[in-house]
């Protein structure tokens, strides 16, 4: 009998994505302090990829401790330009500054997933996507921000590539699911190994 699957997130986006992929699961909010974990990671000089993995694992573990016998899925995404980690912009002015800082450069999205059972990590994975932002004009940027509005504040990069944000880029190296924050291909492979999905 397959283990019950629990998503350690209340994100409607992640929930919808997994439902569209045909997964059956329940959801639970992970009770963790992400900023505290990030401060610890900075002290330990963790790379952005290692930070993404740590955050995904901590979310899975937090819920797994309360969900005995279930397989708990946690995940996170860390965006970095070099070793500089970016966060969701607090307002449109901050989003504007963030996008200007990315102009003409290639940043990396580190998308992590982790599975925990009975408060132990049984699998973790990080996929990366390299995102090259084109040399857009400030006229374009102002028009873009005016059209997309506050909804981009929900995105760590200040863009949503599944919408008008695609116009910000000249080149992308990585799969779509990694870019939007849930690397589904490695997840599906692992769930088949664990008999949660049919092989």
pLDDT in tens, 109-137: 999 999 999 999 999 999 999 999 999 99
Res. 67 pLDDT band, cuts 50 70 90: very high
The pLDDT value given to residue 99: 96
Does the residue 115 lie in any domain? yes
Q: Choosing from 76, 118, 146, 195, which is the catalytic residue?
A: 76
* Mean of pLDDT values over 68-77: 96
Range of the domain at 180: 5-193
b (16+ CB within 10 A) / e for 44-62 = eebebbbbbbbbbbbbbbb
Q: Considering the domain boundaries, does residue 199 fall inside one?
A: no
Is residue 21 assigned to a domain? yes
Residue 76 known to be catalytic: yes
Tell me the CA end-to-end span of the chain in Å, nearest whole number: 14
Kindly state whether residue 198 falls inside one of the protein's structural domains: no
* Domain at 69, CATH number: 3.90.950.10
For position 43, what pLDDT does the model report? Answer: 79
pTM assigned to the model: 0.93
Domain count, the chain: 1
Q: Where are the beta strands (DSSP E) in the chain?
A: 5-7, 26-27, 71-81, 84-86, 106-117, 120-133, 169-173
Residue 182 lies in a domain: yes
Alpha carbons 116 and 196: distance in angstroms, whole number: 14
Beta 84-86 vs 120-133: how paired, if at all? unpaired
- Consecutive H or E run containing 59: helix 48-64
């Amino acid at each position: 009998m397959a283990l019950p699957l629990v998503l350690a997130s209340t994100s409607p986006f992640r929930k919808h994505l997994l439902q569209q992929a045909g997964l059956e699961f329940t959801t639970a909010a992970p009770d963790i302090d992400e900023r505290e974990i990030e401060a610890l990671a900075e002290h330990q000089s963790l790379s952005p990829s290692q930070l993404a993995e740590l955050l995904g694992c901590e979310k899975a573990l937090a819920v797994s401790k309360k969900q005995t016998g279930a397989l708990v899925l946690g995940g996170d995404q860390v965006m970095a330009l070099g070793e500089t980690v970016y966060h969701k912009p607090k307002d449109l002015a901050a989003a504007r500054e963030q996008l200007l800082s990315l102009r003409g450069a290639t940043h990396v999205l580190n998308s992590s997933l982790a599975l925990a059972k009975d408060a132990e990590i049984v699998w973790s994975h990080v996929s990366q996507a390299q995102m090259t932002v084109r040399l857009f004009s400030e006229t374009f940027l102002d028009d873009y921000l005016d059209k997309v509005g506050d909804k981009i504040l929900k995105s760590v990069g200040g863009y949503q590539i599944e919408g008008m944000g695609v116009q910000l880029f000249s080149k992308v190296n990585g799969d779509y699911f990694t870019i939007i924050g849930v690397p589904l291909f490695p997840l599906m492979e692992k769930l088949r190994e664990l008999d949660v999905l049919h092989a």
